[in-house]
Structure 1
Amino acid sequence: MRYAFGDVVLDTDRYLLERGGEPQHVQPQVFDVLSHLVANRSRVVPKTELLDTVWGDRFVSDSTLTSRIKAARRVVGDDGIGQTVIKTVHGRGYRWVADVKISAAEPAGGSSAPVAELPKRRLEQRIRFCRTPDGERLAYATVGEGPPLVRAAHWITHLDYEWASPVWQHWMEGLSRHHTLIRYDERGCGLSDHDPYDVSLESFVRDLEAVVDDLGLERFPLMGLSQGGPVAIEYARRHPERVSRLVLVGAFVKGRRARSYTPEHAREFEMQRELIRLGWGRDEHSFRLYFSSVFMPDADPELWTDFAELMRRTASAENALRLFDACLDMDVSEAARSLDVPTLILHARDDLRIPFEQGVALASLIAGSRLVPLDSRNHLLRQDEPAWEHLLTELEAFLAEDESTTGPPAVHEGSTTSEA
C-alpha cells in the first residue's frame, strides 16, 4: 500500500519512505509506528495498542514510544507543536490527521477497515541456555540461516532488549544476511546469570567455549567486537583447528590500563568508574549518556538515550563496573603474535572509544592479517552511515572465501535448553 501526504510517500509493501522524491532512512520501529497510525487514521490509536503492535511482548517504557513518535514526526516534516500529521490525544493515544491519498484501493469499508498487517520481521531469534564449567548459566541466541558466524560477547549486552534496539538491530540483520549469527550474553549481563564469581579474560574465553560446544560447532568463523576482540583472539590461540576465519571490529590488543597508565589516564579511569558506580542504576540517565556519546559521538541524541536505557536494563552498576575493570587489564599481545588464521581487522579511523592505533597494533602482530580503515568516529556504527555498508561488504567478501564446510548450528539432543 502507498500512502501519500504532502511531499511524503509511505510504501508499506516496499518498506520505503520517500520525502520530496528522496528515500529517507527510517528506524524499523519508527516505520512500524507510521504504518500503524496511517492504516488506522479513522480513529485514535491507544498507546497500549501501539506498544503491543510494534514491540509485541517485549517490555518497553512509555518514553520509548514517545521517542519513536518524535522521530516519526520529524521524518515526515511534523513536530510536537504543529502536529499536522500525528496528533497527541492526551490521556488516550495518537491520531493521524494529515490528508492521505491511496495509490491502491483500500479494503472494503475504506478508512474504517480492520487494522492493517504490519510488514513481518525477516528474522526470528531463538534463545537457549547452557552451563559453563564453573556452573554459570549463559544465554545465547541464533538468528538467520546458513553457515555459522559466532560473535564473542562484549561489554554490556542483552539478547532480548537489544533485539528491538535501534543501536543493535541493523547489526543482527546485517551479520545474518548469509549466515546463522550466534551471539550470547556475557556473564553478569542480560539473560545470563547476574552474580558470577569470576569475571576475567579467562572466564570470558571459557564462556565462549561453552556456547560453541553446546551448539556442537566444529569449525566456524569467529567475530570479536570491541572487548570481544581479545576474547576471540585468545580462543583462536587455544583452538586454532576450530576457527576458520577471524574478524576483529573496533578491537584492541591491550586494555586502557594495560597499555598506558599515566596519572592523567588514572584520573580518566577513575572518573569513568565513578560514573558507573553512581549513575548506572538511576532513572535519570544523564550519567549513562556519557558512555553513549563516546560509543556513538555522531549519533542523534535520541539514539544516545536508547543506548543509555539499554545499558541500564542490561546489568547492575556492580556488574558493569566489574566487567569494565576486566576490560582495562586485558593484554593479548602474545596470543595475537602466535595466531595463524586468516584475519580481517575493521576499525573506525577516528574511533573515540578504542583508538585506531589499536587496530594497527593488531594488524602488526597477527601474521597475514588485513586492516580495513572505516570512515567514522563511531565505535558502534550507525545503520545510516557509509562505513556500515563498507563493513558489511568487506565482511561478506572475506567470509565468502571461507572453505569451511561447517553447516548451520544445531543444539545437541539431550542438552538442557530453553527458548524465548
Structure 2
Amino acid sequence: MRHRDRIVPGKELLDTVWAGESVTAAVLTTTLRTLRRAIGETGRQQRLISTVHGRGYQFVAPTAVRPRESAPTAVAPTGSVPTAVADAPAGPGVADTAASDVIRFCRTADGARIAWAATGTGPILVKAANWLSRIDIEGTTPIFAHWREALIRDRRVIRYDSRGCGLSEPTATFAVDEWVDDLDAVAGAAGLDRFPLLGVCHGGAQAVAYAAHRPERVSRLVLNAAVVQGRLARARDDAERAAAALDMQVDLAGWHGQERSYLRFFGAQFFAGSPPQWWDDLTDYRQRTASAASGARQLELHSVVDVLGLAHRVSCPTLILHSRDDPRVPVSQAEELADRIPHSRLVVLDGSNHLLTADEPAWPAFLAELHAFLAEEEPGRG
C-alpha cells in the first residue's frame, strides 16, 4: 500500500518480505492467493490488488491517508512470543485477539524444547503435530489456514511442533516414544488433565500412540487420513517394498537437490484431486518447516512407523474419517484401524486428496462429523 503509485516487481517483494530466507517464487504466489482469500477477492476479481503480468503487482483500491495513531504495546507473557500484534483500534474488520497465536515453549522429560500455541475460546481440542509443521505460519498457508480457522471457531485449540519441526528444538533422533513425551509436555504446560485429541495425516500415528499409552488423558479421539503404518511398514510383497523405497528415494532426492519435478511428485500424492499449484504450496510449506537433513530423517521414520499394533489399546470413543480415493494412504488402512479400535466408527468421505482442502465437498462433511462427535461429550452443545 505504501507503494500504491507504482507496480512492485515480484522479486522486490520476495527480497523485502522474505529477506535473508531461501524461498522460491511460488511462495509469493501462494501468499498472494491467501491474501486475496482474506480480503474477499479472487484472481479474476482484482478490486484491491492487481496482477500486472510480466511486471509485478499493484495496490489499486481507492486509498485515503490519515496520521498514524499510537497503539498500546503488546507484552507477551514470560516464555512466550507474540506472533500477531494489531496496531489499529478495535472495530469491524479487526481480528479478535482470541484468534491470535501466542507461542509458548515447554520442555519434555528428556529436555527437548517444544513450541506450542493455544488459540481461540471454548472447549479444548488438542491437535497432534503434523509432519511437517510450523505453528507460526499455519494460518498463512492454504495447506492449513482453513483447518486453523475452522477448528478455533468455537474451541480453544492446542497445537504444537514436534521435535525437529518448526519452532521446536532440532534433534538427531526421532521415535514414537518421543512423540508421546512431546504431547505429555504440551498437555502439562497447558494445564490439561483429560482432553479430546485430533490426529491428521502423520499426526494420526502420534495420536494413536498417545491414546494407547495415556488412556486416562484422552477423552475422545478423531483421526483423519491417519498414517498408522508407513508405506514400507505396510508393504506386503517385493513389488510394494520396491515401490515404497522408490517413493522415498524420489522425495529425498528432491528435498536435498531441490529438484522441482521430484518435489511435485510428492505433492501430487497429497493433493491428487487439486490443481498443481497445491503441489507447489506443499513443497514451499515443507521447506519452511525443517532443514533438509531433519526432514529426511523424519521421512525415513514415517516410512517404517507402525502403531497399528497399539490400536487395540485405545479405549476412548474414536471417530475415523478417510477419503475414499486417498492416494497416499489407502482407505483399507482406515478400515483396518476401525476393526482394531474397540469403540470406533469409520466415515468414508468422497474425495481424492490426502489432506482436505477448503473447496472440496469432503471438507464440510468432515467438519460436520467432527463437531457432532465432539459435542456428544459436551452438555448443551449437541
Indicate the TM-score class for this superposition, using the shorter chain for normalisation.
0.7 to 0.9
Alignment of 1:173-184 (within 5 A): 173-184=149-160
The one-letter code sitting in structure 2 at the alignment partner of 1:227 is: H
Q: Is the 8 A contact 2:8 2:57 kept in 1?
A: yes
Per-residue deviation, 1:169:
0.2
1:134 to 1:70, Cα distance in 2 relative to 1, 3 A? closer
Q: Distance in 2 between matches of 1:370 and 1:58?
A: 48
Which residue of structure 2 aligns with residue 330 of structure 1?
305
Q: Is the 8 A contact 1:230 1:251 kept in 2?
A: yes
Q: Is the partner of 1:138 in helix, strand or coil?
A: strand
% identical equivalent positions: 39
| 1:247 counterpart (212, 219, 222) | 222
1:333 to 1:65, Cα distance in 2 relative to 1, 3 A? closer
Which residue of structure 1 aligns with residue 168 of structure 2?
192
The one-letter code sitting in structure 2 at the alignment partner of 1:209 is: D
Per-residue deviation, 1:356:
0.4
Alignment of 1:190-339 (within 5 A): 190-194=166-170, 196-339=171-314
> Is 1:129 matched up with 2:129?
no
Which residue of structure 2 aligns with residue 44 of structure 1?
6
Q: Distance in 1 between matches of 2:262 and 2:101?
A: 32
TM-score by length of 1: 0.73
Per-residue deviation, 1:267:
2.1
Which deviates the most, 87-96 or 55-64?
A: 55-64
1:241 to 1:65, Cα distance in 2 relative to 1, 3 A? same
1:57 to 1:132, Cα distance in 2 relative to 1, 3 A? farther
Per-residue deviation, 1:382:
0.5
Q: Is the 8 A contact 2:327 2:354 kept in 1?
A: yes
Which residue of structure 2 aligns with residue 14 of structure 1?
none
| 1:86 counterpart (45, 50, 54) | 50
Alignment of 1:361-400 (within 5 A): 361-400=336-375
Which residue of structure 2 aligns with residue 138 of structure 1?
114
The one-letter code sitting in structure 2 at the alignment partner of 1:254 is: Q
Which residue of structure 2 aligns with residue 409 of structure 1?
none
Q: Distance in 2 between matches of 1:391 and 1:380?
A: 11
Q: Using CA pairs below 8 Å that are at least 6 residues apart, which structure has the higher relative contact order?
A: 1
Q: Which of 1 and 2 has greater Rg?
A: 1
1:222 to 1:321, Cα distance in 2 relative to 1, 3 A? same
Alignment of 1:402-417 (within 5 A): 402-403=377-378
Q: Distance in 2 between matches of 1:360 and 1:178?
A: 30
Aligned length in residues: 346
Deviations 1:291-345 (A, max 9, x none): 2110111122222211111111111222222212222222223321122211111
1:276 to 1:247, Cα distance in 2 relative to 1, 3 A? same
The one-letter code sitting in structure 1 at the alignment partner of 2:201 is: S
Q: Is the 8 A contact 2:201 2:355 kept in 1?
A: no
Q: Is the 8 A contact 2:271 2:279 kept in 1?
A: yes
Per-residue deviation, 1:159:
1.3
Q: Distance in 2 between matches of 1:240 and 1:87?
A: 53
The one-letter code sitting in structure 1 at the alignment partner of 2:204 is: G
Q: Is the partner of 1:257 in helix, strand or coil?
A: helix
Per-residue deviation, 1:56:
11
Structure 1, unpaired ranges of 5+: 1-35, 80-84, 101-110, 406-420
Per-residue deviation, 1:372:
0.8
Q: Is the 8 A contact 1:126 1:142 kept in 2?
A: yes
Q: Distance in 1 between matches of 2:247 and 2:136?
A: 27
The one-letter code sitting in structure 1 at the alignment partner of 2:337 is: L
The one-letter code sitting in structure 2 at the alignment partner of 1:147 is: P
Q: Is the partner of 1:298 in helix, strand or coil?
A: coil
Structure 2, unpaired ranges of 5+: 67-87
Q: Distance in 2 between matches of 1:92 and 1:175?
A: 35
Q: Is the 8 A contact 1:276 1:317 kept in 2?
A: no
Which deviates the most, 132-141 or 263-272?
A: 263-272
1:198 to 1:77, Cα distance in 2 relative to 1, 3 A? closer
Q: Is the partner of 2:146 in helix, strand or coil?
A: helix
Q: Is the 8 A contact 1:148 1:179 kept in 2?
A: yes
Which deviates the most, 199-208 or 312-321?
A: 312-321
The one-letter code sitting in structure 2 at the alignment partner of 1:155 is: W
Per-residue deviation, 1:270:
2.3
| 2:27 counterpart (64, 70, 77) | 64
Q: Is the partner of 2:347 in helix, strand or coil?
A: strand
Q: Is the partner of 1:146 in helix, strand or coil?
A: coil
Which deviates the most, 320-329 or 336-345?
A: 320-329
